[in-house]
Amino acid sequence: MSVKTLLTNRTTLEGQVKVPGDKSISHRAVMFGSIANGITCIENFLPGEDCLSTISCFRQLGVDIVQNGSDVTVTGKGADGLNHPEDTLYVGNSGTTIRLMMGILSGLPFTSTLEGDDSIARRPMTRVTLPLGKMGASITGRNNGEFTPLTVEGQKLHGITYELPVASAQVKSAILLAGLQAEGDTIVIEPVKTRDHTERMINQFGGKVERDGEVVKVTGGQMLKGTHINVPGDISSAAFFLVAAAIMPGSDIILRNVGLNPTRTGIIDVLSAMGADFIIEPYESEAAEPAGDIRIKHSKLKGTIVEGDLIPRLIDEIPVIALLATQAEGKTVIKDAGELKVKETNRIDTVVNELKKLGADIEATEDGMIIQGNQSLDGGTVSAHGDHRIGMMLSIAALLCKRDVRLEQSEAVAVSYPGFFDDLYSLVRK
């Protein structure tokens, strides 16, 4: 475990950063490249630990993947070209890898076992194994398939119509990926629209997917063709800098090539509602995923309510939104976010407990948190608890702290942003 002494007592961020590639899109690019026919070239792939886990799992399935930093070439031979893995597929900390792979493996003619780290071992999997089971999949695991290790015995699948009980892009994507190999149509109905990178990627790989409101449909047996994917920067990584600049007096920064898919831009809505000073310059292009530059300056902020349909559009940004709220005028309430309890950590508890250690006035609720604004942060020893987004949020919080801050398990940030500290500290001016 590495303990890092964080920069504290700073005021101003200036300059620009090009945040690394989007994690969700990077995973999917490798997965689709592996089940498509032909070569897929991925540009601006995120070489974070989670996405590297996806690459290593598909290599174990026999796919030829060449990775050089953020350039990746996948030589796909179709889903039929995937082979029985010799060993357990190890997904590390990555929920997206394990859940989406179950969708792919369910319809393939071999048996494979998946497992990951201690955090993965605590994350619920029935949300995926249940609908896949309805499609004919055979998946067994600890506690009736709720937890890893999970063993998938490939079967012939058939399409289903499934209403998602929780808004989850991972569950939707697992079902759609299984649906691509199933007989007939597979229809997923979402309670609230979640990130749609899987749907966009099916189109990019020459497949067909239909959407009507919250209803998504794929037909089985489609032929996918390798393609070129340019991964935009990850707005979930950009969020740390957006918040840092918004709360540090005198700050003025530009974030380049940030993904602006509307299913992911809830953080922009929150910044806007709180009165942040920013301009977005979208790139003019026909790219499958929109992107652009964001310039943001410090400004006076006010508390807000974050709830309802907005939650899936900013689910991974809630830890840093909680920090943002500590610096606004008045109270911020976050609700309808019970899903936070089953992320890499229970993010209601880790956010509340760790920010409290720094002196914030923040309280957990059943499905979110209540944060009092205008807080001055002090210092102390905090922990990422193995959760990358908690580690990055606390590193931003530390910049405002008067006393020293030590971050335990700081290595967790490499899950989604290996160069995080270099990029952050390159912006610190005073």
Residue among 321 and 401 whose Cβ is closer to ligand S3P? 321
CB closer to ligand S3P out of 178 and 405: 178
* Residues of this chain, 180-199, that bind ligand S3P according to CB under 6 A: 195
Among 115, 316, 317, 423, binds ligand S3P (CB under 6 A): 316
CB of 319 to ligand S3P, least distance (A): 11
Positions 57 through 96 that interact with ligand S3P (CB under 6 A): 96
168 annotated binding-site participant: yes
2: annotated binding-site residue?
Answer: no
CB-nearer residue toward ligand S3P: 321 or 405: 321
28 is in an annotated binding site: yes
285 is in an annotated binding site: no
- Site residues for ligand S3P, window 13-42 (CB under 6 A)? 24
Q: Give the nearest distance from C-beta 199 to ligand S3P in angstroms.
A: 11
CB of 416 to ligand S3P, least distance (A): 8
Q: What is the 3-state secondary structure (H, E, C) of the chain?
A: CCEEEECCCCCCEEEEEECCECHHHHHHHHHHHHHCEEEEEEECCCCCHHHHHHHHHHHHCCCEEEEECCEEEEEEECHHHCCCCCCCEECCCCHHHHHHHHHHHCCCCCEEEEECCHHHHCCCCHHHHHHHHHCCCEEEEHHHHCEEEEEEECCCCECCEEECCCCCHHHHHHHHHHHCCCECEEEEECCCCCCCHHHHHHHHCCCCEEEECCEEEEECCCCCECCEEECCECHHHHHHHHHHHHHCCCCEEEEEEEECCCCCCHHHHHHHHHCCEEEEEECCCCCCCCEEEEEEECCCCECCEECHHHHHHCHHHHHHHHHHHHCCECEEEECCCHHHHHCCCCHHHHHHHHHHHCCCCEEEECCEEEEECCCCCCCEEEECCCCHHHHHHHHHHHHHCCCCEEEECHHHHHHCCCCHHHHHHHHECC
Asked whether the beta carbons of 176 and 128 are under 8 A apart, the reply is no
Shortest reach from residue 400's CB to ligand S3P, in Å? 26
**Single-letter code of the amino acid located at 72:** V
> Shortest distance, CB of residue 295 to ligand S3P, whole angstroms?
26
Annotated binding-site residue? 112:
no
Q: One symbol per residue from 144 to 173: x for binding ligand S3P (CB under 6 A), - otherwise; what is it?
A: ------------------------xxx--x
Kindly name the residue from 50, 196, 316, 423 that is annotated as catalytic. 316
Complex with ligand S3P: residue 26 or 186, whichever CB lies closer: 26
Q: What is the β-pairing status of strands 37-43 and 228-230? A: parallel
- Establish if 315 lies at the interface with ligand S3P (CB under 6 A): yes
Residues contacting residue 384 through CB under 8 Å, at least 6 positions apart? 390, 391, 394, 407, 408, 409, 410, 412, 413
Task: Give 123 or 297: the residue with its C-beta nearer to ligand S3P.
Answer: 123
Q: Nearer Cβ to ligand S3P, position 332 or 416?
A: 416
Cβ-count burial of 148 within 10 angstroms (0-12 exposed, 13-18 middle, 19+ buried)? Answer: buried
328-357 residues in contact with ligand S3P (CB under 6 A) are 339
Annotated binding-site residue? 24: yes
Question: Is the peptide bond preceding residue 149 cis, with omega within 30 degrees of 0?
Answer: yes
Q: Shortest Cβ distance from residue 220 to ligand S3P (Å)?
A: 21
56 annotated as a binding-site residue: no
Query: Taking the complex as a whole, how short is the minimal distance between the CB of residue 53 and ligand S3P, in angstroms?
Result: 13
* Residue closer to ligand S3P, measured from CB, 249 or 262: 262
Binding-site size, ligand S3P (CB under 6 A): 10
Q: Residue 34 annotated as binding?
A: no
**Does residue 316 have an active-site annotation?**
yes
Q: Is 430 annotated as a binding residue?
A: no
**Which positions lie near ligand S3P, rule CB under 6 A?**
24, 96, 168-170, 173, 195, 315-316, 339
Which residues make up each annotated binding site? 23-24, 28, 95, 123, 168, 170, 316, 343, 347, 389
Which residues make up each annotated binding site for phosphoenolpyruvate? 23, 95, 123, 170, 347, 389
Catalytic site positions: 316
